[in-house]
Amino acid sequence: MEHVPYMDRRKFLHAVSLATLGLAAGARGAAASMLPADPVFGRTFADLQGRDQALSAYVGRPVLMNFWASWCAPCVREMPLLETLHQRHPDLAVLGLAIDTQANVERFLKKVQVSYPLLLTGTQGIPLMRELGNKGGGLPFTLLFDRRGRVADSVMGELRPDDIEARLGQIL
C-alpha cells in the first residue's frame, strides 16, 4: 500500500475554500463580461436635423452621456468642459441629451457652440434619467459607460474638471 502524506484538516479546508473562492470570482468576472449593454442603448433620439440616431451605435466606445437643458444654469456652465473633453479624448463619445425643445436648443447653440452630438429627448428624458439612477430628475446628470455599454459611474450636478477626468480613467 502506497503511503499518502497526512494533511491537516484545517489546511485542507482552507485550500478548498481558496480554490472555491477563486473559481467563484472567476465565474463572476466572466459573467460580468457577458452582460449586455444597458437598455438605454436600445433607445433612439432625433438629432437637430430631425434624423433618428440610435444610441446602440455608440456601444464599443466609452461614452459620456450628459442630460441637460438650455434653461439649466449649471448645464450651460459645464458645456465648455464637455467640449474640452470631447476634443481631448477622441476615443470618448460625448453625447448631450437635451431635455428641451429643438427651438430652444437651436437658439442656445447660437450663443454656445459644441461639436459633440446633441440629441433631443424632450420630456422622455426625465423618466429615462430616473431609470438610470437619477431618482430626483435633477439636471445636469452625467453617466459614464464602458466600451460594453454598461454604466461605470454617474455624476449628479455640475461636473468639475479634475473629478470628471479622474472618473474617465475608469472607462478610457
Q: What is the pTM of this model?
A: 0.80
**C-alpha cell of 168?**
474617465
pLDDT (tens, 9 = 90+) of the chain, 172 residues, equals 444 445 445 544 444 444 444 444 444 444 445 667 899 999 999 999 999 999 999 999 999 999 999 999 999 999 999 999 999 999 999 999 999 999 999 999 999 999 999 999 999 999 999 999 999 999 999 999 999 999 999 999 999 999 999 999 999 9
pLDDT of 168 reads 97
What is the rounded distance in angstroms from the CA atom of residue 144 to the CA atom of residue 58? 12
Residue ranges covered by each domain of the chain: 39-168
What is the rounded distance in angstroms from the CA atom of residue 132 to the CA atom of residue 37? 13
Task: Pick 39-168's CATH classification: 3.90.1300.10, 3.40.30.10, 3.20.20.70, 1.10.760.10.
Answer: 3.40.30.10
Q: What is the DSSP string of 111-165?
A: TS---S-EEE-GGGHHHHHHHTT-TT--S-EEEEE-TTS-EEEEEES---HHHHH
Is-contact 123 131, C-beta < 8 A?
no
The distance of Cα 54 from the centroid of its chain, to the nearest Å, equals 16
pLDDT of 115 reads 97
Burial class of residue 23 (count of CB atoms within 10 Å of its CB; 0-12, 13-18, 19+):
exposed
What is the rounded distance in angstroms from the CA atom of residue 160 to the CA atom of residue 167? 11
